[in-house]
Amino acid sequence: MIENEKIEEMMFELEEKSEKTMNSLENEYASIRAGRANPRVLDRVEVEAYGGMSKLIELGNIAALDARCLQIKLWDKSLLKAVEKAILQSNLGLTPTNNGEVILINFPIMTEERRKELVKQAKKMGEEAKVAIRNHRREAMDVIKKMKTAKELSEDEAAGCESDVEKQISSTMSKLEGIIAAKEKDLMSI
């Protein structure tokens, strides 16, 4: 690696952006339900409460009672109807049951067809993450080309930097492939 502040900063940014992309994909994957009750499915649900929008996880405790049932115990029971409405409007395909004390959400057993749909959705999200990583690579390569054109780097130095960028991207892509494969396996397991 060439000792150049600008190159070091670019490599650091590349690594940081790659990490953020992978974390974002993992967060998106957490919201895809795989047939088991997982409180993270509700992470994105926002509820109209106290004159504004609040995340559901800020309004109470969400716990998995068993493999197919979540329980939402709110700190303020007056919000039960609003939470129920928010879950129904969230397009998660979940139907909450309000018993006046807590909200229960039963997860139906998923069909093979639904699992395949979810795998397609997961692959699409994975492909979007790969495109983002490729864009990060392009940005890094542009920085190197500009530096080479401005004679801040020699041909050999530029080639070395490009090689370092490719190694970084290859490593990130293989990690992404692992994340995607793990989610696919998770979705297809019963």
Read off the CATH number of the domain in which 18 is found. Answer: 1.10.132.20
- Lowest-confidence region among 4-18, 84-98, 161-175: 84-98
Predicted pLDDT of residue 161:
92
Q: What is the spatial distance between Cα 83 and Cα 41, in angstroms, rounded to a whole number?
A: 14
Check whether residue 52 and residue 143 sit in a common domain.
Answer: no
Phi, psi (deg, nearest 5) at residue 148: -65, -45
Predicted pLDDT of residue 2:
47
Cβ atoms < 10 Å from Cβ of 29: 21
Report helix angle 5-30 to 112-149, nearest 10: 170
Q: What is the spatial distance between Cα 103 and Cα 71, in angstroms, rounded to a whole number?
A: 6
Predicted pLDDT of residue 95:
82
- Between 75 and 110, the more confident residue is 75
Predicted pLDDT of residue 126:
93
Residue where one domain finishes, among candidates 106, 125, 158? 106
Q: What is the spatial distance between Cα 159 and Cα 144, in angstroms, rounded to a whole number?
A: 9
Check whether residue 84 and residue 124 sit in a common domain.
Answer: no
- Between 176 and 40, the more confident residue is 176
| Total tally of structural domains belonging to the chain | 2
Predicted pLDDT of residue 29:
83
Question: 3-state class of 37 per DSSP?
Answer: coil
Check whether residue 131 and residue 83 sit in a common domain.
Answer: no
Cβ contacts of 75 within 8 Å, gap of 6 or more: 59, 60
Is residue 1's pLDDT more than 50?
Answer: no
What's this model's pTM, rounded to 2 decimal places? 0.70
Is residue 128's pLDDT more than 50?
Answer: yes
Domain CATH for 56: 3.30.1360.40
Predicted pLDDT of residue 190:
60
Is residue 138's pLDDT more than 50?
Answer: yes
Residue from 31, 37, 43 nearest 69 by CA: 37
Check whether residue 75 and residue 23 sit in a common domain.
Answer: no
Check whether residue 91 and residue 71 sit in a common domain.
Answer: yes
Is residue 125's pLDDT more than 50?
Answer: yes
Check whether residue 65 and residue 117 sit in a common domain.
Answer: no
Length of the chain: 190
Assign 3 a pLDDT band (cuts: 50, 70, 90): low
Check whether residue 27 and residue 46 sit in a common domain.
Answer: no
Check whether residue 80 and residue 173 sit in a common domain.
Answer: no
Is residue 109's pLDDT more than 60?
Answer: yes
Check whether residue 183 and residue 122 sit in a common domain.
Answer: yes
> pLDDT of 44-78, one tens digit each?
888 888 888 888 888 888 888 887 888 889 888 88
Check whether residue 56 and residue 91 sit in a common domain.
Answer: yes
| Cα distance from N-terminal residue to C-terminal residue, the chain | 47
Residue where one domain finishes, among candidates 83, 106, 129? 106
Check whether residue 9 and residue 55 sit in a common domain.
Answer: no
Check whether residue 9 and residue 49 sit in a common domain.
Answer: no
Are 60 and 72 in contact by the 8 Å Cβ rule? The answer is yes
Domain that holds residue 157: 5-31+111-188
Predicted pLDDT of residue 54:
85
Residue where one domain finishes, among candidates 57, 81, 106? 106
